[in-house]
Amino acid sequence: MSLKAPITKETPIDPGWWRGAVIYQIYPRSYQDSNGDGIGDLLGIVQRLPYIASLGVDAIWISPFFTSPMKDFGYDVSDYCDVDPMFGSLADFDAVVETAHQFGIRVMIDLVLSHTSDQHPWFKESRANRDNPRANWYVWSDPKPDGTPPNNWLSIFGGSAWQWDARREQYYLHNFLTSQPDLNFHEPAVQQALLDVELFWLHRGVDGFRLDTINFYIADKQLRDNPPLPPEERNATIAPSVNPYNHQLHIYDKNQPENLDFLRKFRAVMNPFGAAAVGEVGDAQRGLEIMGQYTAGDDLMQMCYAFEFLSATPPTAARIVQVMSEVDRVAKDGWPCWAFSNHDVMRHVTRWSLSPAALRMYTTLIHCLRGSVCLYQGEELGLPEADVAFEDLQDPYGIEFWPEFKGRDGCRTPMVWEPSNQNGGFSVGRPWLPVSSEHLNMSVAAEEADPAAVLHHYRRVIAFRHAHKALMEGGHDGMKSSGDVVYFNRTHESETVFCAFNVSDTPSDLAMPKGNWVQVGAELGGGAPSADGRVHLGPWQVCLAVRV
């Protein structure tokens, strides 16, 4: 069980709590159902907070639970300041915060500010006519003379990013589903309304935010066409390869410099509360660069993550060095937040075809990188991607691009708590997505009873990270590789931790840096430095040592 001190009203504000934090992402629909309707809810999270505390994490990030028609499962908000009845009530949310704080766990919530649902009262008023008080709250445009959309922008969910609206005889912008119209951040009243939403939840006790699609907030005011992207520069980091979204260089529909002004306003609202934010940067070409821009200095976001380690590209030694060297170049003054899995991508055990030994190695690696860490529910059990039949699909993304892209349901199936029934302890009712039969033998109860299970490795790694300030907050001396081995030093004040990882199934030897080194982290299965100043690393083995 976690020994973190409870967070109370008397707890001094710690503006740096986020630095090096381990954040556990909860997809509430699939975590724990408390009332038998087959959908996870807020009281289900309360029920499982003792388990979360046992992992040793610093914070939870809860994916959207706001009032919504659920066309995109909560990422289409119709009321920012209330809880959708399927998840519970505001009182239930208060119980989440109170219980989490009793365990010393901070609560971050997922704010979707770039767009709303088309059922939001703001949009209903905006689309009524061109003269109402909120007529300019969304991105509207007249058609071209031939009636076609105003430019060539594309939606991530396929097709044009513009939808015709007969009421106003104009198009509105939607970077995602047609039912997710984009807000117009060039309108000051829109920015103020969203800052008021932020303040509402801060007063409710939240400790921070995960900001969905943070680089999509502001679009080019002139609505200029995006240029084409040469085929050799396309990749499927943000959208699947079958999606024409990859055919453009997205320099006008997102990533606008004016966004920094809004982020400064957002940070200013957080500061008196000691709250922190992590932004999701969705860009296939400039993700790390934007991450660096958005986290530079003390007046922007504390953390951001890009998609480099959420992609299908296996993290070989060369790839890891390439990514981290680019971070050093474009974001040396910023602070990344690393994740291997989340609710939008195939689980990394499957995506990278990881063996149990490889999974343990990568788990140790991510907790040794400079930055903070996001873990996705079930990752700590080593869950693979679930195979969801077409007739069971819920995700509109998967339905649209099936079978070349099966959507996101495979990583969103319910959490498995115990193997005694087909629902894995998630619900007494029929789950909204089927529980994977493959997952049942990897349930929390099964792994708790197995000393060799990966769940215990996650706990040990998280505890090891917290035991070394150099890993939580320290700098690093640059990522290096020797063959299949990645290595670097992390340093904070007088502590230096040497970290080496064999990113392969082939044994390797590495010379230690000069100095006197003592092995640490032996409980993580690491190798020890030898008397001759070298370390032998078996397949997928790590070496961790401190300078004495």
400: in domain: yes
102/202 same-domain check: yes
Q: Average pLDDT of each block of 10 consecutive residues along the chain (548 residues)? A: 83 96 98 98 98 98 98 96 98 98 98 98 98 98 98 95 98 97 98 98 98 98 97 84 92 97 98 98 94 96 95 95 96 95 96 97 98 98 96 87 88 95 94 95 97 98 98 96 97 97 96 93 90 92 96
pLDDT score recorded for residue 496: 97
Helix pair angle (287-295, 259-270), 10° resolution: 50
Q: How far apart are CA 229 and CA 488, in angstroms?
A: 35
Q: Do 51 and 102 belong to one domain?
A: yes
Whether 280 sits among the annotated catalytic residues: the reply is: yes
Task: Report the pLDDT value the prediction gives residue 173, as an integer from 0 to 100.
Answer: 98
Q: What is the largest CA-CA distance in the chain?
A: 79
pLDDT at 334: 94
Q: Do residue 396 and residue 498 come from a single domain?
A: no
Catalytic residue among 280, 344, 395, 484: 280
Q: For the whole model, what pTM was predicted?
A: 0.97
Q: Which helix (H) or strand (E) holds 211?
A: strand 208-211
- The verdict on residue 33 lying in a domain is yes
Residues 215 and 80 in one domain: yes
Residues 234 and 318 grouped into a single domain: yes
Q: Is 12 part of any domain?
A: no
Picking from 335, 339, 336, the residue whose alpha carbon sits closest to that of residue 365 is 339
The answer to whether residues 487 and 403 belong to one domain is no
Cβ(28)–Cβ(45) below 8 Å: yes
Domain of residue 433, CATH code: 3.20.20.80
Residue that terminates a domain, selected from 421, 438, 465 = 465
Domain boundary residue among 431, 465, 499? 465
SS3 string, 247-292, reads: HECCCCCCCCCCHHHHHHHHHHHHHHHCCEEEEECCCCCCHHHHHH
Whether residues 247 and 103 share a domain: the answer is yes
Q: Is residue 159 part of a domain?
A: no
One domain, residues 376 and 310: yes
Q: Give the whole-angstrom CA distance, residue 255 versus residue 290.
A: 8
Q: What is the pLDDT of residue 398?
A: 84
Indicate the residue among 465, 494, 522 that finishes a domain: 465
Cβ atoms of 443 and 418 within 8 Å: the answer is yes
The token pair that represents 451 in the structure block = 């000393």
* CA dihedral sign of residues 275, 276, 282, 287: positive
pLDDT digits (tens, 9 = 90+) for 321-378: 999 999 999 999 999 999 999 999 999 999 999 999 999 999 999 999 999 999 999 9
Question: Both 310 and 338 in a single domain?
Answer: yes
Cα–Cα distance between 538 and 119 in angstroms, integer?
56
Based on the fold, state whether residues 407 and 519 are members of the same structural domain: no
- Indicate whether 387 and 313 sit together in one domain: yes
Residue 542 shares a structural domain with residue 446 = no
Range of the domain at 491: 475-547
**Within a domain: residue 157?**
no
List the CATH number of the domain containing 480: 2.60.40.1180
The Cα angle at residue 318 between residues 312 and 321, in degrees rounded to 5? 100
Query: Burial code of 500-513, b = ≥16 C-beta within 10 A, e = fewer?
Result: bbbbbeeebebebb
In degrees and rounded to multiples of 5, residue 547 shows phi and psi of -80, 135
Provide the β-strand partners of residue 305.
280
> What pLDDT does 10 receive?
94
Is the separation of the CB atoms in 440 and 416 below 8 Å? yes
Catalytic residue among 92, 212, 308, 409: 212
Whole-number pLDDT of residue 101: 98
Q: Is residue 26 part of a domain?
A: yes
Q: Is residue 227 part of a domain?
A: yes
Looking at the chain, the whole-number percentage of residues with pLDDT higher than 90 is 91
Q: What pLDDT score does 404 carry?
A: 81
Would you call 451 exposed, middle or buried from its count of C-beta atoms within 10 A (0-12, 13-18, 19+)? exposed
Please tell me the total count of domains within the chain.
2
Structure token pair of residue 105: 């766990």
In a domain, 390, yes or no: yes
| pLDDT number for residue 178 | 97
